[in-house]
Structure 1
Amino acid sequence: MSQRDPDPSGGVRLHVVTGKGGTGKTTAAAALALALAADGGRVLLVEVEGRQGIAELFGRPPLPYEERKVAEARGGGEVFALAVDAEAALLEYLELFYGMRRAGQVLTRFGAVDFATTIAPGVRDVLLTGKAVEAVRRRRGGRRPLGPAADEPHVYRAVVVDAPPTGRIAQFLNVNAEVAGLARIGPVRTQADKVMDTIRSARTAVHFVTLLEEMPAQETADGVAEIVRAGMNPGRLIVNMVREPLFPPEVLAGAEHGEVDVEALTQGLKAAQVDHPSETADGLAREVAAHARRVRAEATVRARLDGLGLPMLDLPYLGEGIDTAALYRLADRLAEQGVDR
């Protein structure tokens, strides 16, 4: 694991959240943004995959390429959201650094931008990650090429990126390598170098959302190794959809080996006047045994994850589904576990 000196400007400010499909990556990123914005902070939540998952979570219409407030955090904080579009980011880039927005619009009209980002996906990733890095660096003095004074406060306390899945995260973030064969010099390479300066610094951490299941855990381990090899900083493991055991350890240990007192269950069901108590007791015994086996399997996976040497945060399984109220519950859970501000 990479070891870096603490960042004197205030620690991690770019939180990249990745995870295997189905692990709840977007939900975890939104909850993290709410937790980081607590007590008066302002946080930007960035989506780069074009799925509009953030808008759906917060009950908002599809997000444009514009930073919009989507939620208030505990203690008066604010969460803004942005759905980054490669084409819009390129037009902004051309206008900001070259005053060429009209030329960019002409390129768009002829499909040149779409063509370029399709045949050279590394350029697309430079634009997407570059927008997030720009938001991290932005200060309240304005968005000028030379930038405001270094002592002016940042616009955002932190930026949280709902990033691509674990299998693509190292490639997505390692934009410098992606463009090396395309642009060894020039503005695209210069932009890539600036992006990598931030991504490889102590200001950035890559968090992995996972489940207590074999396949997500293995992909998480592989992703952490890739990030480390690329010289980036893995942050925390966010273990999602955690379910607490329903019985004490001694009961689970016996149930796993079929040691369930079916007769006692039957008598209890009879006393409760449940129909077909014997058949119901047999079914319950099988369910208790299955539950015990699941608890043991999850404990094995957790031990493997613990072996990665990264701090872990747990998010509970919410059987009623995810809505805005549930996001606040998850954010509170992250805050209780000491998520970094």
Structure 2
Amino acid sequence: MPPDFPGVRLHVVTGKGGTGKSTVAAALALALAGPGKNVLLCEVEGRQGIARMFDVDPLPYAERRLATGLVGEHGERGGVVHALHIDPESALLEYLSMYYKLGPAGRALDRFGVIEFATTIAPGVRDVLLTGKVYEAVKRNARNRGAIEYDAVVLDAPPTGRIAQFLGVTSELAGLAKVGPIKTQSDNVTRLLRSDRTAVHLVTVLEEMPVQETVDGIADLRAHDLPVGGVVVNMVRPQVLDQKSLTEVRKDEVDRAAIAADLKHAGLEADELLLDGLVAEARDHAERQALEDAQRKVVAGLGLPTYELPRLADGIDSGALHELAALLRDQGLA
């Protein structure tokens, strides 16, 4: 099916901690990297999560070829996913070298701890440096000799509670820089982030707190004029009982004799202890399913494109990321 965000170049992925936003960001990058496409996957939180997911060495402050994207509909080889780990100190050194020609002098400042001090006391500057590097990758074109021109950039961004502040760089710098290169860069970044070339996707799981944080995050993004994309419901548990069985379990009307007969047919002895355990497990599953159904209604009420990814029992590796990427593409996110 055609993608839901065909004109978007920058996909920002955020979510409450523990919802798997980094996994979704990686899967989205793979999904976007169709045949002939170049995609950049960026992280800005210093956790080296990309390296762990793809089982590679820690990433430097440089773009590195990471993986091959999804194959095409007719078996064409997928495009290429590159990765970039952005840290504020390296970004500031690059900024000083680019705008103030402080090459060796900038590295000397780094040795004295001046750069760490500057990015600590002025968090707005820190965020501008991080998003500024992403901006450069998005705006890059064929005139940038020797640099890769990306069809899409995926940013594994800070959690939902900080995302509007992180992306709202202009207000952060209002009292710090009224003129000069850093103010210009801030304004350019803000124009991109508030344009239709950007979409901020939110990742959640079907639990009350993450869903509520998603609702609050959407309101915060809209209050800052930042473009909201879709909602990815991650780690969805399989529904192992049909609606008829769930209703019987909730009403405590389980046919224990039928369960015993099924167990005997499978070659198992159905004593009372085993039956009690199975009925208790079914009751827990039914309660969990009811909670998830209630939260799914809340997500549906947001009126945004919604995508679901299953909980993978064997964990996340390269193969699992490609599986999730295919699901995102099939549902229209990429």
Q: TM-score category by the smaller chain?
A: over 0.9
* CA-to-aligned-CA distance 1:255-302 (integer Å, 9 cap, x gap): 122221112212333444434522111111111121112111111101
Alpha-carbon offset, residue 143 of structure 1? 6.4
- Cα distance per residue 1:26-60 (max 9 Å; x no partner): 10000000000112211000010010000111110
Structure 2: 5+ residue stretches without partners: 71-76
For the residue of structure 1 that corresponds to 2:65, the secondary structure is: strand
Q: Which residue of 1 aligns with 2:277?
A: 283
Matched with 1:264 is 258
Distance in 2 (alpha carbons) for counterparts of 1:266 and 1:76: 50
How far apart, CA to CA, are the structure 2 residues paired with 1:189 and 1:103? Answer: 22
Corresponding position of 1:167: 161
Amino acid at match of 2:260: T
Deviation of 1:99 after TM superposition, in Å, equals 2.1
Q: Does 1:240 align with 2:234?
A: yes
Q: Which amino acid aligns with 1:252?
A: L
Does structure 1 retain, via aligned residues, the 8 Å contact 2:15–2:204? yes
- Structure-2 separation of matches of 1:274 and 1:65: 58
1:36-51 equivalences under 5 Å are 36-51=32-47
**CA distance in 1: counterparts of 2:205 and 2:307, whole angstroms:** 11
**Paired residues of 1:266 and 1:278 also in contact (CA < 8 A):** no
Whole-Å separation in 2 of the counterparts to 1:302 and 1:191: 40
Looking at structure 1, the residues matched to 265 and 330 of structure 2 have their Cα atoms a distance apart, in angstroms, of: 42
Contact 2:260 2:270 in 1 (8 A): no
Q: Which residue of 2 aligns with 1:220?
A: 214
Match 1:21 to one of 4, 13, 17: 17
Superposed counterparts of 1:247-258, under 5 Å: 247-258=241-252
Aligned to 2:63: 67
C-alpha deviations, 1:135-159, integer Å up to 9, x for none? 0001122169xxx9xxxxx800100
For 2:187, what is the secondary structure of its paired residue? helix
Of 180-189 and 269-278, deviating more is 269-278
- The gaps in structure 1 that reach 5 residues or longer are 1-5, 149-153
Hey, what's the Cα distance between the residues in 2 that align with 1:271 and 1:11?
56
Question: For 1:34, which of 17, 26, 30 is the aligned residue?
Answer: 30
1:98 to partner: Cα distance = 2.9
Matches within 5 A, 1:6-155: 11-74=7-70, 75-142=77-144, 155=149
Q: Structure 1 residue 61: deviation in Å?
A: 0.3
Q: Distance in 2 between matches of 1:143 and 1:227?
A: 35
TM-score, scaled relative to structure 2: 0.93
TM-score of the two chains, using structure 1 as the length reference: 0.91
**Does 2:204 match 1:202?**
no
Give the conservation status (yes or no) of the 8 Å contact 2:21–2:203. Answer: yes
For 2:12, what is the secondary structure of its paired residue? Answer: strand
Give 2:74's aligned residue. Answer: none
Identity %: 54
Residue from 311, 315, 318 that aligns with 1:324: 318
Query: Which secondary structure does the structure 1 equivalent of 2:231 belong to?
Result: strand
Q: After superposition, what is the alpha-carbon deviation per residue over 1:303-326, rounded to whole angstroms, capped at 9, x for unaligned?
A: 101111110011111011111000
Q: 1:86 offset after TM fit, Å?
A: 0.8
In structure 2, the residue corresponding to 1:205 is in which secondary structure? Answer: strand
Q: How many residues align?
A: 325
| Distance in 1 between residues matched to 2:157 and 2:328, nearest whole Å | 19
Does the 8 A contact of 1:174 with 1:196 survive in 2? yes
8 Å CA contact 1:270–1:277 kept in 2: the answer is no
- Matched to 2:123, the amino acid is P
CA distance in 2, matches of 1:110, 1:187: 24
SS class of match (1:171): helix
Q: Which residue of 1 aligns with 2:297?
A: 303
Partner amino acid, structure 2, of 1:173: L
Offset at residue 177 of structure 1 (A): 0.8
1:101 positional shift:
1.9
Matching residue's letter, 1:58: F
C-alpha contact (below 8 Å) 2:200/2:227 kept by paired residues: yes
Is the partner of 1:76 in helix, strand or coil? coil
CA contact (8 A) 2:40 2:152 kept: yes
Deviates more, 1:324-333 or 1:178-187: 178-187
